[in-house]
Amino acid sequence: MTETQKRTTAAVVIPIFITFFTMGFVDFVGTAANQLKDDLGLSAGQVSLFTTMVFFWFFIFAIPSSYCMNRYGRRATVLLSVAVTIAACIFPIIAYAIPEVSSAVKLILMVISFILLGIGNAIMQVSLNPLIANLVSPDRYSSTLTSGQFVKAIASFSAPLIASWLGSALHMWWLTYVLFLVISVIAYLSLLADKVEEKKTDAPNMSFGKVLGLLKDKIILLCFIGIMCHGGMDAGVNTYAPRFLIGAHAGMGANQAAYTTSLYFVFRTIGLAAGMYALTKLSNRISIIICSSIVGLSVVAFIAYTVIPGAGDWILWAALALIGFGNSNMFAIMYSIAGLHMPERQNEISGLMIMGLIGGAILPPIMGGVSDAIGGQLGSALVLIVPACYFIFLACRPKLLSAQGKAAA
């Protein structure tokens, strides 16, 4: 353990957590896209492209970001990601602050912003998580990662509320990007001044093929699939939660059902808060047994809500609460197990695990397709059985779950 790891003082950790807050800005894309729909008269299909494109940047930039870490260091790569995020925040301000900007140019500027925000977030997720390994001991790695995800969740939850208030009070929702810009600059400057002692890596020359070759290791493969399932469930529930309610109430509009997404995020944040403490006390196996059991119960509740005539809405609320709470820590657990399994290859593993978030672009379309085929949201609920069963399968793999003893997420 290095001296930096032993002195995890506020001066060292605070810049890291400010950067985690910056990471949460990417979840604002959905709110911004809906605002653009009203401002520019876009179609629902065009708006859906804005909200889904972000997941593909994880696939494209995850491994190049790992290469960048190997060559230039983790801290330098995180600084690059924050710089890209700063650039992403500038374009919306230009688009809306200058009255002469036409609708076509405004759309182009916002698309550029979305692209940069996705790229910056992909690089940030790959590089920021392993940077924490230089600050904490292995037995606290998981809980520290979860602490970072909790800070990110605060940004994800609060940004839409701030935009809503700015839109109602000042009719300038885009001022949220000014706040983002200020926080991003603070994150960059504080991290630039932060002296983090990095471990030297002995990883071989990196290539796309060599990184994917890590999937030949059984533990790495299982963790990768686990993160795909986590990302798929997270994006799927975030997208289709309102549709469960709309499907049960004829004539209900999207605005009336929008609160279901907020309910999901509330319990997701609560789950991360609980994980900050619980994951320091529980083993990997116990952690996943608990989380997978909660996720399994949530899927049962989703199915019950769609098949029981006249089912009370409280069943849906329970399902959203359970899946938000149970799935919230699965990313951190899977990520930390993989990273601690091959600490000498942590940079490559980070890129590979973040690439697994592509599951967020895979599962939601499947949920929608099955729902259309069945003619109801029972299809979405049935699709959720697959990742839930996979988590239960992992709970039955003691060699995987006990590989590193304490949970880390």
Count CB-CB contacts under 10 A for residue 380.
28
Residue that the structure tokens 């880390």 belong to: 408
Q: CB count, 10 Å around CB of 330?
A: 27
Which sequence spans correspond to the domains of the chain? 12-194, 206-402
Q: Which of 269, 310, 275 is nearest to 290 (CA)?
A: 275
Q: What is the distance between the alpha carbons of residues 313 and 27, in angstroms, rounded to a whole number?
A: 26
Domain 206-402 CATH assignment equals 1.20.1250.20: yes
- Residue 406 is predicted with a pLDDT of 40
DSSP 337: H
Give 211-254 pLDDT, tens digit per residue.
888 899 888 999 999 999 998 898 888 778 877 887 777 776 55
List the alpha helices (DSSP H) in 24-73: 29-40, 44-72
Contact 182, 82 (CB under 8 A): no
C-alpha span between 39 and 54 (Å, rounded): 21
**Tokens 């995180």 -> residue:** 78
Among residues 195, 197, 191, which one has the least CA distance to residue 2? Answer: 197
| Burial of 376 from C-beta contacts in 10 A (0-12 / 13-18 / 19+) | middle
- Enter the tokens of residue 288: 């996943």
In one letter, which amino acid is 74? Answer: R
Answer yes or no: CATH 1.20.1250.20 is held by domain 12-194: yes
How many H helices and E strands in the chain? 20, 0
CA distance 171 to 86: 23
- Nearest in space to 75 (alpha carbons), one of 16, 140, 146, 136: 16
pLDDT at 201: 58
> Among 333, 352, 325, 328, which Cα is nearest to 397's?
333
What is the number of other CB atoms lying within 10 angstroms of the CB of residue 207?
A: 12
Say how many C-beta atoms besides its own lie within 10 A of residue 370's C-beta: 16
Q: Which residues of the chain have pLDDT under 50?
A: 1, 4-5, 403-409
Say what the pLDDT of residue 244 is.
Answer: 86
pLDDT of residue 409: 36
Judged by DSSP in three states, 406 sits in strand
For residue 283, list its beta bridge partners: 406
Rounded distance, CA 240 to CA 254, Å? 11
Maximal C-alpha separation, the chain: 63
Return the pLDDT at 54. Answer: 73
Q: Indicate if 206-402 has the same CATH topology as 12-194.
A: yes
Selection from 401, 358, 351 nearest residue 128 by Cα: 351
With CA atoms as reference, report the closest residue to 343 among 196, 236, 219, 169.
Answer: 219
Grouping H, G, I as helix, E, B as strand and the rest as coil, residue 283 is strand
User: Tell me, what's the pLDDT at 5?
Assistant: 47
pLDDT, position 407: 39
Backbone angles phi, psi at 311, to 5 degrees: -60, 140
Q: Which of 322, 334, 343 minimizes the C-alpha distance to 407?
A: 334
What tokens does 41 get? Answer: 């008269």
Q: What is the gyration radius of the CA atoms in the chain, in angstroms?
A: 21
What does the pLDDT read at residue 322? Answer: 96
- pLDDT computed for residue 67 by the predictor: 82
What pLDDT is recorded for position 66?
A: 81
pLDDT of residue 384: 95
pLDDT in tens, 56-80: 788 888 888 888 888 888 889 999 9
C-beta separation of 332 from 150 below 8 A: no
Cβ atoms of 372 and 379 within 8 Å: the answer is yes
